[in-house]
Amino acid sequence: MKSHKFIHSNNPVAEVKITKSSLLGEFVDEFLVEETPIAMVFNGISHVVMMASPSNLYDFAYGFAITEKIVSSVDDIYGVDINVKDHGIELEINISSESFEKLKEVRRNLTGRTGCGLCGAESLNQVINLPVDQIKNSYIFSSEKILIAIEKFSSKQEMQSKTGSTHACAICSQNGEIKLIREDVGRHNALDKLIGAVIKNNLLEPDDFVLISSRASYEMLQKFAFLNLGLIAAISAPTALAARLADSLDITLIGFAKGKKFNIYSHERRVTG
C-alpha cells in the first residue's frame, strides 16, 4: 500500500510552480491558499477539528467558542495558546469552569448515539441553534452606503486576490466604511474569525452591518445573530431557510449584492433610498 506523507503549513498562502496550457514546458509562479487541520481544545479536551486557513487563529478561537455557545460571553475565555503540531495546529482554549461543565454535559449526551451527520449534531433539534429573542436593532441603512461598502469589499480581500479561493466577511460602518475584514478557505471560519475579532477587541457598534462573500446559508445567519446587528449582505444568494430565519429574527437580509444593486429578502424597512 502506498503511504502518503502529510505536510501542513502554518502560512495562509503557498507559492508554487505551475504550467499553463498556453505555455507548456514553462513554469510560472502561482499562489494557493492553505487549509490546515485546526483542533479546538477546551481545558485540555479536544472538541472538534476544523479545516481552516492558519491565520487570525486567536480570533478564530474566540469566535468559534461564542457562536457555538461553548461560552456565554468573552469573559468566560481566560486565554488561548497556539500549539503547532506535526499534523496541524491545536488551539488550547482556557474557559471558565461553568462553561466547561456545560460542554462536558453536551459531549456526554452525544457519546454512543447515532448522529444525523451534521456538524456533530445528534438530533434535529440541535441543528437550529438560534437565540430565543429577536434581534433588537432598529438602525436604518442607506442603500447608497451599502453599495459603497460592496464596491470596496473585493479590494480589501488580500488572500482572495492572490489565490482566488477564499471567502471573506467584513464588518462595515453605517457610512459604508469597511472597518475590519477576515478571510478563510471556509465561509463559516471567516465569519467566526470576524466575530471573534470584533467582540474580543470591542470594535462593534450597534449601527454596523456585515458583508459576506459567500451565499447566506442558515449557518451564516445563526452565527451573525450573535452580533445583534440589524443587517447582513451577501454577495451571493441566500437559501430559503436563511430567508425564513432572517424574517423570524427581525434581521434584514440582502443577497446578490453586486455592482450597483442588491435584493432584499426580509425586513426592507431598514433600507432607505
- Catalogue the active-site residues: 116
- List, in sequence order, every residue forming a beta bridge with 30; answer none if it has no partner: 16
E strand intervals along 53-87: 77-85
Q: At what angle do helices 187-200 and 57-67 cross, to 10 degrees?
A: 90
Q: How many CB atoms lie within 10 A of CB 3?
A: 5
Helix (H) or strand (E) holding 195: helix 187-200
Instruction: Provide the Cα torsion 162, 163, 166, 169; round to 10°.
Output: 10
Pairing type for strands 36-42 and 77-85 reads unpaired
d(CA 231, CA 141) in angstroms, rounded, equals 8
